[in-house]
Structure formats: structure tokens, C-alpha cells
Structure 1
Amino acid sequence: MSPDKKPQTMKPLTAADKLGIYLPATPEEFRNSPLTRAQLDELRANPPQWLQDLHRDGPFPRDVTARKLGISNSGLGRAGVEDAMTSAQIAALVADPPEWLIAERKNYVAVQAEAERVKIKDAERRAATNRPRKNW
């Protein structure tokens, strides 16, 4: 690699996604400038206070919120949850789950169980077709 090559950069949205943080909650300097891979690695290795606070308290992006609630991203949409949630909001929902959260958790467990059943069935089917055949 020649020394005058420019390092590859990523948009702030991509960097926020890789860090698992909600972009609108980041400092303006993070939102307005592209990051290099080296800068991203540095943020992961030595997170500044604002990044530590976001990882601990949120607000969290939709996928992180869904994972913390034990439901799918689609479940959040069906429930009408459009805003990012903080740790306190998630804890309040978990402590006293509304009906929609209970139903979405049951649905999520059923979908996961079905996915596992299909995975096992496919593995069995592949194993059956890979058996050695007799040459008559």
C-alpha cells in the first residue's frame, strides 16, 4: 500500500450501526464527519464517556431495544413503538409488561422454535442425501 493512499471512511450512520448506538443521540461532531476504520477501532478499544453512557443508558436503536425486550423488530412496529428507548423505559416495560409485550414475546418464541425445527429438518434431509450409495 502506498503511503499516499487515503484511508477508507464510513458514514456516521454506518459507524453508529457498527457500535450499536442510536445516531441522533451522538455528539454533533460524530454525526457530521466520516470515520476511518482506525477511528472506529479506537472508539471500540477506548470508548469516550459519551459512548459509554449511550451503551449503558441509551437511547438504543430499534434492534437493540427489541433484543432487550425479547421480541423482534417487527414486534416493536406492530406495537407502535417508533422512538428509541432508554434503559429506564425498557426496564419499566419489563417490570410491568403490557399485553402487547407479552403477546410479542410468545410470538417471538414460537417463531424461533419453528426456525430451529426447520433447521434440524433441513440438516436431517441433507444428511440423508449425502449417504453413500451402493453401486450394484
Structure 2
Amino acid sequence: MTSHQTAQTMKPATAAKKLGVYLEATPAEFQEGVVSRTELNALQADPPEWLRELRANGPHPRPVVAAKLGVSISGLARGGITEPLTTEQIEALKQEAPEWLQKERATQAEVRKETVRIKAKHAEQAEKAERSAKDASGQQ
């Protein structure tokens, strides 16, 4: 009995998300087709000119804009940024450093600091639990 393995495919929106590009800015043939896992891997390994251009200059989807600005996606929305931005627009925003951006960056920095603190606390608790378990098994 032979098994026929079909190629795993995804919608263009999913592929664009994995590539970190704004779907509406991709070529029509990309938007209208399906993308196989093999094609996605090929695009990531050796990006064509259109993909290199989009990654470099945009327009960028919100997750990429948020990352480039150092804020959360929610922070973008609170700042009134709901549309994709180009690299040039992102750089202009960084230069302007509006009050909302400064506030959201500070918020994001606090969130990251708290995440690190919680992770360290959990690691310490796990270490204590492991030591207690070793001590308990050693005493029996």
C-alpha cells in the first residue's frame, strides 16, 4: 500500500503573515493563489525582489509596525495608527516621537521588565520545588 502525500498549502493571507508582509501590497499572483509549504520555504530562503522590497520599504502590517516602533499592536491602535505604514513613515514617527509613542514605549518596556521578573520568579519556584523533591526522596 502506498501513501500519497499531498502538499500542505495555505491561504495567501497566512503566507503573507508568515513572511511578515502586508498582503494587499504583494503581487496579484501571490494574492490569488495558494502557497505550499515548499513554496513558502523557498520564498523565505531566497526571497524574490518584490519580497525584499516589501520587507525593506513596506507598507508593513501592524505587527511589523509595532515591532519597529517598540510598542504593542494595542498601543498602535491607542495612538491612532490603524493602517499599514512604510519604513519611511515609521522612521518619521520615530523622529517626531509624539507623546503617545513615548508613553506606549514606556508601557512596553514595563511589560517586558515584568515578564522577565515573573519568569525569574517561576524559575526560582521550580528550582525550590525540585530541591524539595530531591530532599524528600533522599530522606526516605
Give the TM-score, by structure 2 length: 0.90
Letter in 2 for 1:121: K
Letter in 2 for 1:114: E
Q: Which runs of 5+ in 1 are unaligned?
A: none
Q: C-alpha deviations, 1:88-119, integer Å up to 9, x for none? A: 00000111110000000000001110111111
Aligned pairs for 1:44-123 (under 5 A) are 44-123=44-123
Q: Which runs of 5+ in 2 are unaligned?
A: none
- d(CA) in 1 for partners of 2:96, 2:122: 39
Letter in 2 for 1:35: V
Pick from 95, 114, 135: which aligns with 1:133? 135
Higher helix share: 2
What is the total number of aligned residue pairs between the two structures?
A: 136
- More deviation in 74-83 or 97-106? 74-83
- d(CA) in 2 for partners of 1:75, 1:41: 32
Deviation at 1:43, TM superposition (A): 1.4
Aligned pairs for 1:5-44 (under 5 A) are 5-44=5-44
Deviation at 1:24, TM superposition (A): 0.8
Check 1:125–1:3 CA distance in 2 against 1; reply closer, same or farther (3 A cut): closer
- d(CA) in 1 for partners of 2:53, 2:35: 20
Q: C-alpha deviations, 1:4-25, integer Å up to 9, x for none? A: 5431211001110111101011
Give the TM-score, by structure 1 length: 0.93
- d(CA) in 2 for partners of 1:5, 1:120: 44
- d(CA) in 1 for partners of 2:8, 2:66: 31
Letter in 1 for 2:100: W
